[in-house]
Each structure stands twice: as C-alpha cells, then as structure tokens.
Homo-oligomer: A and B are copies of this chain.
Amino acid sequence: MKDLPLAKVCQLLEPGPVVLLTTTRKGRANVMAMSWHMMVEFEPPLIACIVSNADYSFAALKATKECVIALPALELASKVVGIGNCSGRDVDKFERFGLTPAPAERVAPPLVAECFANLECRVVDTHLVNKFNLFVLEVLKAWSGPAQKNPKTIHHRGYGSFAVDGELIKLKSRMP
C-alpha cells in the first residue's frame, strides 16, 4: 500500500460509496458495512458517520475511539452485503468472508487488504453520539492500494439494491 495524501480523502468519500468500518476491542477485530457517512472538513480530513447503538461495532468505537474506514470496489459487493447481514457478536467476519486484516500504523483496528483505500481514524467528537449515534472522526493516515484499476464503488439504494459507478463526466468547477 502507498501513502494517500490527506487532502485527497474527500474525493473518496464525498461520492457516497458504501464503506467498511473496522474496530478492535479486547484484541478482537470486527468489520461492518456503512453508508451513513459524510465529509465534514477537507484537511485534516474530518468525517461524520452514524454507527447505530444496535450494531456490535458501536461499543467498540465508543470505548476505543479508533476505527479504519476501508473502501471496497464492486468485486467485493456480495461480501459487503454479507458483512451487513450478520453481526460480530456471533461470528468472526474477517474469517467468514475471507478478508485479510493488515496492521494499521496509527490505530489498533486493521486495514482491509482487499480494499482499494484505507483510512485510519480517531474519534474527535462525541457530542451527538448519545442523541444520534453520530461520531466525528479525524483521518490520521490514509492508504491507497494495492492497486486496482479504476475501482468502481457501490451506492446503497436500500434492501440490497446498489448503483454502481457509471460514466465519469467532467465539468468546470472550482470546488475541491
């Protein structure tokens, strides 16, 4: 994997892809699928996300204040849905879905080697955790690769329906 400049993180998350979120608690890593996230600031990159208190990952994220956001491409779609359909309470999801945990540099939760980018994050604001399950994260370190050519992300439309990235268009904009 290669360093990804932190200023480029917004280009990964702003388009709204389904992502994976890993946590580690008491030495045990877990992974969930997540679509409710958004950019909050460009650099250092801040991200808000909702992790339901019904999710097994909630307690780990709240207690350890660390996670990794990993970006899966289309090829992982069926695994992503499988990950969303079961709980780390019952199963080791890395093992069940054949995903490879790789050591992160700044946080305890693992990177996901099969994803085309990984973001090591720390929780920096918990004001809205109790009310809305809303965490604000800072990206401490970002990785791209192993190289995947033009990875297509998937966008959840509910009940397992996903729009895959299609045509790319380019318009003249001054917005980063």
Binding site for B on A (CB under 8 A): 8, 10-11, 14-17, 33, 35-41, 46, 48-50, 74, 77-78, 81, 84-85, 125, 127-128, 131-134, 136, 152-176
Contacts and interface: CB of A to CB of B under 8 A. Distances in A.
Contacts of A48: 38, 48, 132, 134
Interface of chain A: mostly helix, strand, loop or mixed: mixed
- How many copies of this chain does the complex contain? 2
18 contacts: A11-B158, A14-B155, A14-B156, A14-B158, A15-B155, A15-B156, A33-B175, A36-B40, A39-B50, A40-B133, A48-B132, A81-B173, A134-B136, A155-B155, A159-B173, A161-B170, A163-B167, A166-B166
B81 A171 contact: yes
Given A38-B38, A40-B132, A127-B127, A155 B165 contact: yes
